[in-house]
Amino acid sequence: MTNKTLTLGISLFGLVALGCDGRTMIGDLPNGTPTASTLGAGGSGTCMPLHDQMDQPFTPPAGVTGVWTGYFQGTNLPVGQDAVTLTIDQAADGSNQIHAVFGTNPPPAPATVATDSYPAGTSTNPPSIPVPSYIEGFSYTGHEVQWIGQRLKFGVEPAEAWDSWCKLQQSYWVQYENPSSRSYNCVPGSGLMWSNDPTTQTCTAFLDEHTTVPVDCDQANMCSARVCQCDECGCAAPVDANSHFDITFDGDLVTGTGPTFFGSNYLRLTRSTN
């Protein structure tokens, strides 16, 4: 059997110093040494709901509220898989909001098992960590909205669709050799080792250079792909906009650019409803 190792790249996040029970210190686990079946149990989300600090209230120009449907131009995808739906409306509290949906299939059911890959039926295979760029059918929230006349700029966070999975995860404090390099993650340890035998594949996390613990391979790969943002209370999907739209409304037609999930980011939308 061949073993390979991977050092996890975990970015630092601003942490909120609040009392909560979801934190688990490496070397001080509540029920002894964790196993693959117990990792991720008891997740409850981050200490405070995550938010994009660049979000501001906005008012869309007259005539653009409603649903706009269309597609990304010049892709090799079948008709429907290249679709995009943009909704501009108001939330229950009366604030304006924007949502974007990619594809025409319904979204997957929320995650229910912390150690399973998500969406259900997908499987990660180290070390490539092939987590999808987006989840078809999920309604992504628009962030960092800017209106310049009839021109609209905003972004979405592709990892938002993994929020239900992230909130199942338990938060683990990770301490690296460099004292300034420390953070939280949804699996313990600062590195992974996995067997290269597909029939008996196992994954192991390094708590330190002398101590290891078995972890679920799918869960470890999802966590190392950073679909979750964790703090001392637990984990949730990040919300900062990373994939952007820049579009212009002209009557019943919208043209411009969007995320490059599809190999082409040029899109064309037409009014669906008002």
Q: What is the CA 195 to chain-centroid distance, rounded?
A: 27
Tens of each residue's pLDDT in the chain, 274 residues: 444 444 443 332 222 222 233 333 333 333 334 443 344 434 678 888 999 999 999 999 999 999 999 999 998 888 889 999 999 999 999 999 999 999 999 999 999 999 888 988 776 555 555 567 889 999 999 999 999 999 999 999 999 999 999 999 998 887 655 555 557 888 887 777 777 666 667 888 887 777 888 888 888 888 888 889 998 889 999 999 989 999 999 999 999 999 988 888 999 999 996 5
Sole residue written with tokens 């008002």: 274
Q: Name the nearest CA neighbour of 52 among 174, 135, 140, 157.
A: 157
Please count the structural domains in the chain: 1
How many angstroms separate the CA atoms of 143 and 238, rounded? 12
Query: Distances from the Cα of 114 to the Cαs of 42, 43, 228, 234, in angstroms?
Result: 9, 9, 12, 13
Going by C-beta distance under 8 Å and a sequence separation of 6 or more, which residues neighbour residue 14?
A: none
What count of other Cβ atoms lies within 10 Å of the Cβ of residue 226? 19
Q: Is 102:75 a contact under the CB 8 Å cutoff?
A: no
- State residue 124's pLDDT score: 56
Structural domain range at position 54: 3-273
Rounded to an integer, what distance in angstroms lies between the CA atom of residue 190 and that of residue 172? 10
Tokens of 13: 């996040």
Report the pLDDT value the prediction gives residue 180, as an integer from 0 to 100: 56
Are 159 and 237 contacting, i.e. CB atoms less than 8 angstroms apart? yes
CB 176 within 8 A of CB 87: no
88 by DSSP, 3-state: which?
strand
Phi-psi region of 80 (alpha: psi -120 to 50; beta: other; left: phi over 0): left
What is the enclosing helix (H) or strand (E) of 164? helix 163-166
Q: What is the per-residue pLDDT for 231?
A: 87
Contact 217, 194 (CB under 8 A): yes
The half-sphere exposure of 263 on its side-chain side, counting CA atoms within 13 A, is 8
- The model scores a pTM over 0.85: no
Residue that has been written with the tokens 């029920």 in this structure = 31
In this structure, the number of other CB atoms found within 10 A of the CB of residue 1 comes to: 9
DSSP 87: E
d(CA 33, CA 16): 27
